[in-house]
Amino acid sequence: MSSVDSQQRVLSGMRPTGKLHLGHYHGVLKNWVKLQHEFECFFFVADWHALTTDYEDPSKIEQSTWDMVIDWLAAGVNPGSSTMFIQSQVPEHAELHLLLSMITPLGWLERVPTFKDQQEKLREKDLATYGFLGYPLLQSADILIYRAGKVPVGADQVSHVEITREIARRFNHIYGREPGFEEQAEAAIVKMGKKNGKLYRTLKKRYQEEGDLEALETARALLKEQQNISLGDRERLYGYIEGGGKVILPEPQPLLTQESKMPGLDGQKMSKSYNNTIGLREEPDSVVQKIRTMQTDPQRVRRTDPGEPEKCPVWEMHKIYSDGDTQEWVQNGCRSAGIGCLDCKKPLMDAIVEEQRPLHERAREYESNPDLVHSILQEGREHARDAARDTLEEVRAAMGLHYR
């Protein structure tokens, strides 16, 4: 595993909250389905993270996990194209969390924006626990155990990736400076051959003296192509060009995703806490009833009253589900009172029910065969553990914990 290869690896997870809704589908799952065909993806159920805020009542975690994984599969997350697993079934996450805790300053955890934000929002819960304080570090371990180079997050979660980068940087600074590092790096350059060695030195000079990022990327690509140096030498040369030591834990980059534009039934963000959701696999009759009773522009008291689409939650859904012609029909019909609110809602009912049809079909296969879901997660766990063990082997060795 090299730091260049890590840029092709994606890690993302969800807390097990039960069956998902259309906000999850448009905000996360559709992106996962796309990413699985572009990168090596690891998607996990963050059940340990669920315990950081809900440790007093863990009774729903197991069923919520199965419901959520079936929703992933129904949405098109493919076990043949990605690795799906449950966090607590890969104990290497916990070991790396422990080892990283030895070098992580307490102040780094206390300054994570969501730490105080969650304490304010969840005042009814006792969050004065070591687990809650350390959950950003556990998130870092989740990422670094797979040396994932990219982490899909919204803008509000970038701080979690940033602390992970700082922890990886600190770890590499402390443990990447193996005895004789520079001598071994220079010897590795010689192994590359005269032409490639000269090119590497030129690129190294351009990056270190001029800050040329293109030179850095070119050097990384050059190292990836080298067949006559070992993996250890390659990692040393990655660190050497960057002015540090051997890169043991590559720094991840946030892969910014657009915030879900899926509104709730009341116009607010779709959320279970607002009780304004449409389930990912809601029954068609229920979907129709929820759309029929959605609030609309309060100025349209009577059928003949003109309205303003921009003030109506239904219009926000049309922006997701309707084509240009339908949107124009809604705009003109609403403002002129040429159509009623039920007329306006009808295309939405049809579009959402049609979107969910294949999700229902795929879900039925897994609901009727729970052993298949278990086998998918079992296979994912084994693959995840293989990757995690590779990382831990290097981490233990770097920290002096590699015993024969």
**Positions at the binding site:** 15-17, 23-24, 142, 154-156, 269-273
Binding residues for ATP: 15-17, 23-24, 154-156, 269-273
Is the CA virtual torsion 2, 238, 236, 149 positive or negative? negative
Q: Is 337 exposed, middle or buried (0-12, 13-18, 19+ CB in 10 A)?
A: middle
In our burial notation (b when 16+ CB lie closer than 10 A, e otherwise), range 216-243 reads bebbbebbeebeebeeebbbbbbbbbbe
Instruction: Enumerate the known binding-site residues for L-tryptophan.
Output: 142
The helix/strand/coil state of 65 is helix
DSSP type of residue 21: B
CA distance 299 to 203: 65
3-state helix, strand, coil in the chain (%, to 5): 60, 5, 30
- Cα distances from 155 to residues 202, 258, 279, 354, in angstroms, run 37, 8, 25, 31
- Alpha carbon distance 97, 77 (integer Å): 28
